Structure 1
Amino acid sequence: MRFLSLIWSNLKRKKLRTSLTILSIVVAFVLFGLLCSLKEAFTAGVNMAGADRLIVRHKISLIMDLPFTYGSRIERIPGVAAAVHWTWFNGIYQNEPKNFFGSFPVEPEPFLSMHPEYVVAEDQKQKWLQTRTGAVVGRTLAQRFEWEIGDRVPLTSPIWPRENEEAWEFDIVGIYDGAKKSTDTSGFFFRYDYFDEARARGEGQVGWYVVRVEDADRVAEVAQKIDDEFANSPYETKTEPEGAFAQGFVQQIGDIATMLVAILSAVFFTILLVAGNTMAQAVRERTEELGVLKAMGFTDGLVLVLVLAESCLIASVGGLIGLGLAWLATAGGSPAPSILPVFYFPVPDMLIGVAIVVALGVVTGIFPALQAMRLQIAVALRRHA
């Protein structure tokens, strides 16, 4: 600590250059944090997928429905523990297309049993079972539209019009939270029996099934049995692990991980050059001073540590400020809940960022530090003369 003032004095020598270097590092790590949050937003469904859950959909396309009766047939297949159906409703609030969100008719008890990641208070669950028009909504969605339990919400759907062509009316009886931070809490779930009786067409049809298998090691075997059960029928199926199903949506956008690595590699390579050049210039400008320090008894190792500490301090100040700003920017939730329902800076990625800060300080400072360590006193003082 006694050399901290010396290091700080060296950094203040060229205030503008040091400030600009730190600012560039701040920007780089803010970008790192936001891109990691964006990656989490797109891959949250993949991360939350159950290893023992399968998705059964129409073989041709997800937009084609399956019969409601498939549920009982799937549950009779050896290795299947339970099956629940989902249907995409595409609810729109206040007849504003921008106010769309994920909405699904389900059977409450089987649905909640299949998906423990959705946490609903017991009294709210019971209310849902007792209220035919009841719905439970995610915390994020409730905050987005300022809904509260007891509110009556009208929705329209371009896919599923109501039989009398009126808006669908739902009573909010519960607000669910996520068991984990990566759980999507922007959904709207309501009762299938109310939906099936009131829709204008498609009675007895569902979108897809989520199936839990008894043994996660046998998911491939069970998936094949399910598809064999409905082979050569009017509604053939395609069964795949839930993670693969979610990954398919992500891949429609592109390889998020590869794009993230490519962008950040370019950014950090540029920052490496900027910070490395700053340190190299600082050492060259202080050649005579380094020679004086060595003449006063500073060892080569101590000179190396001083220069390296200076580099690490610049990287730490810029990097930690950048990571902190990225965390603050994502702490308030998603800027676009309808598109990115899950949006936060994951702790593992934050720890990786801290490791990159340390690595950046060492890499940008090691060569100037070695140069300073090898500097001969006579050569340094001769320049001064």
Structure 2
Amino acid sequence: MKYFRLVWAGLWRKKTRTVFTMISVVIAFLLFGLLQGINQGFGTAMASLDVDRLYVTARTGIVDGMPISYLSRIRNVPGVRAVSLWAYFGGYYQDARKPIPAFATDAAELFKVYKEIKIRPEYVDAMVKTRTGALISEALAAQYGWKVGDRVPIGTSIWTNKAGSNTWEFDIVGTFDASAYGANFPSFYMNYSYFDEARQFGTGELHYYILSVQDPKQGDRISREIDAMFANSSVETRTQTEYALTQMALKQLGDINFIANAIVGAVLFTLLFLTANTMMQSVRERTSELAVLKTLGYSDTKVLVLVLTEALLLCLFAAALGIALAALVFESPTLQKLFGNFSMPGIVAAMGAGIAVLVAFVSGFPPAWRARQLNIVDALAGR
């Protein structure tokens, strides 16, 4: 702290240049915080996925249907604790541009598979007893102002009912809390038996079997047994863990880890040259001033440390501001709605600090070494 005012004065000697350099560093670390925050967040979320849950889909793709007749055979596989199903409905309420994650399912079994979902038992009983019943997430109920007892029309761009309409009416019989699984978790459930009976086409088909196993260590064995059971059938299956299925879905969007690292790497590489250029110009313009410091008794090493500290202060201050802005963005309603209760992992801030120090050292050391090597006589003479 003894030399802070001296370092601070040197940093702000050219205010305009310093401001623009800091803005560049802030933007770079804002981008770093957002991309790496999302990347690390996905990694953390995937690491926490249940290891005792398996998904069975058609081998040709998750959009292709499988027969409902597979259900009893899967349920009888040794080691399977509970089995439910999903048939994608593709719903919306009033506006087709605002989709609702709606699925037809067997609710009584579904909540045995998804143990973290919080729902009152009487709501599950009401769903079983009500043919046109629907269970909705508390978040969806709050969004549209729905409550138990309401009858709501849900449109779909896929399924036409036997009345010839794409609008289906459901009676809300209960709500559930699925916050443990994030905002994008299916939030509207209807009875599969009603859906299958009322649709014009695709009868007897569904898109997922979801099952939980008694012993996670037996997951691979159960997966192989299920797939072998339906090998060479009209619809072969692919059984995967929740982690593997999520990875496959993310890869359809692209290699997020590679994209994030490539963009951040390119930005930081450019930032390195920008900061180095700023520091080099600053030292070149202050050659005579640094020579004066040496005449006043400042050692070569002390001058080197002062210049390096200047670069460190510039990078760390701007990087902290950029990371802080990224953290605020993660708290925005838009990202919260997209990713759920999603905050920037602390490791991203630590990585940002480490990168800021590295950038400061790499960009600041050459001009700092040049300042250390200054000859007092030559510098004062302007040579």
Whether the 8 Å CA contact 2:134–2:170 is kept in 1: the answer is: no
CA distance change for structure 1 residues 44 and 6 in 2, over 3 Å: closer, same or farther?
closer
Q: Distance in 2 between matches of 1:170 and 1:45?
A: 33
Where in structure 2 are the equivalents of 1:180-195 lying within 5 Å? 184-185=184-185, 187-195=187-195
CA distance change for structure 1 residues 356 and 344 in 2, over 3 Å: closer, same or farther?
farther
- Structure 1 letter corresponding to 2:278: T
Moved more, 215-224 or 245-254: 215-224
Q: What residue number does 2:162 align with?
A: 163
Q: What residue number does 1:262 align with?
A: 262
Q: Match of 2:334, SS?
A: coil
CA drift at 1:31: 1.8
Q: Distance in 1 between matches of 2:141 and 2:309?
A: 49
Structure 2 residue runs of 5 or longer lacking an equivalent are: none
Whether the 8 Å CA contact 1:52–1:216 is kept in 2: the answer is: yes
Q: What residue number does 1:300 align with?
A: 300
Q: What residue number does 2:3 align with?
A: 3
TM norm structure 1: 0.85
Moved more, 295-304 or 16-25: 295-304
CA drift at 1:91: 0.6
Whether the 8 Å CA contact 1:315–1:360 is kept in 2: the answer is: yes
Q: Alignment partner for residue 346 of structure 1, among 333, 344, 347?
A: 344
Q: What residue number does 1:98 align with?
A: 97
Q: Match of 1:288, SS?
A: helix
Structure 1 residue runs of 5 or longer lacking an equivalent are: none
CA drift at 1:9: 1.0
Q: State how many pairs are aligned.
A: 375
Whether the 8 Å CA contact 2:141–2:147 is kept in 1: the answer is: no
Q: Match of 1:380, SS?
A: helix
Deviations, residues 287-317 of structure 1 (Å, cap 9, x unaligned): 2222222222223333222212211111122
Q: Match of 1:234, SS?
A: coil
- Structure 2 letter corresponding to 1:240: Q
Deviations, residues 20-49 of structure 1 (Å, cap 9, x unaligned): 000011111222233235546877874554
Q: Distance in 1 between matches of 2:376 and 2:138?
A: 69
Deviations, residues 142-164 of structure 1 (Å, cap 9, x unaligned): 56x44344354321123233333
Q: Distance in 1 between matches of 2:176 and 2:376?
A: 72
Q: Match of 2:63, SS?
A: coil
Moved more, 98-107 or 233-242: 233-242
Q: Match of 1:97, SS?
A: coil
Whether the 8 Å CA contact 2:135–2:174 is kept in 1: the answer is: yes
CA distance change for structure 1 residues 44 and 299 in 2, over 3 Å: closer, same or farther?
closer
CA drift at 1:191: 3.5
Q: What residue number does 1:112 align with?
A: 111
TM norm structure 2: 0.86
CA distance change for structure 1 residues 365 and 240 in 2, over 3 Å: closer, same or farther?
same
Deviations, residues 203-259 of structure 1 (Å, cap 9, x unaligned): 443221123334434433321110111223333222223222222222222222112
Where in structure 2 are the equivalents of 1:117-128 lying within 5 Å? 117=116, 119-120=117-118, 122-123=119-120, 125-128=121-124
